[in-house]
Copies of this chain bind each other. A is one copy, B any other.
Amino acid sequence: MVLSNAKGSIPLYMQIKELLVARVTEGEWAPGDIIPSEMQLSRELNVSQGTVRKAITELVENNVLVRRQGRGTFVATHDVDRALFHFFHICNDSGTKTLPESKTLSCRKKRASRQEASKLNLSNGAQVVYIERTRNLDNTPTIIETIILPNSLFVDLGKRQVRNLPNTLYELYETQFGITIHRAEEQLRAVAATENDASLLSLEAGTPLLKIERIAYTLDGTPVELRISRCSTSRHYYQNTVL
């Protein structure tokens, strides 16, 4: 890639931003890696340190990179904190947020339904990994989750780890499959608990549940996970901050 500072061209710092993103998405720099210093990059690209800095600043705001003063700049990773603060929104009534324990019920391969395929941008009838689990909050089963993944990206996940899945899946995606979740869209509705829901959460059928349908995307915009959660909100709620 060649940078251009001609008259009508895109600003230098934006071109640098693209270039840095490319190096992350293409795996040249993996999550957790330190990237070259601002000075090194500025020399390599023949621009000033401040210009590199502006590009990096915006990527830090997008949660792509992380800066540590005196140490360097790193590619963001999916540690537990990030999972908890960015992607998990259920609090208990006293307002505290804890990562729930998970009990995997099943993990198998199947063909995607028409809807699932469309939401994950797959061709009709493509193979998907299908995971069902319940999650405990404050020692009571509170959430039922159905997770649907393109089998092409998560090869052998169905076979290998049948009921041995870790609690924080996004860390697994990143470390085992090189897939980093960058953003997600969530659609929330209120639904009635089915008989099955009711028995899993030990409450009565028809009880209102909060249904969260999440599609998670990588940095380059590919949808890679469809996750449907049904939560009992008798002692918990979904927390959202509007800025």
Number of interface residues of A (CB under 8 A): 33
Majority secondary structure, A binding face: strand
Would A240 and B191 be within 8 Å (CB), given that A206-B206, A209-B208 are in contact?
A: no
Interface flags for A229-243 (1: CB within 8 Å of B; 0: not) read: 001010001111111
A183 interface hit (Cβ, 8 Å): yes
Check B243 against A62 for contact (C-beta < 8 Å): yes
A222 and B208 CA atoms in complex are apart in Å by 33
Within 8 Å of chain B (Cβ to Cβ): is A186? yes
A7 within 8 A of B: no
Given contacts A63-B243, A242-B86, contact A210 B186 (CB under 8 A): no
Q: Which A residues fall within an 8 A CB radius of B?
A: 61-63, 86-87, 89, 91, 183-192, 206-211, 214, 231, 233, 237-243
Interface contact A210-B188, CB-CB below 8 Å = yes
Point out which of A206, A211, A240 has the most chain B C-beta atoms below 10 A from its C-beta. A240
Say yes or no: B239 contacts A184, CB within 8 Å: no
Q: Are A237 and B87 in contact (CB under 8 A)?
A: no
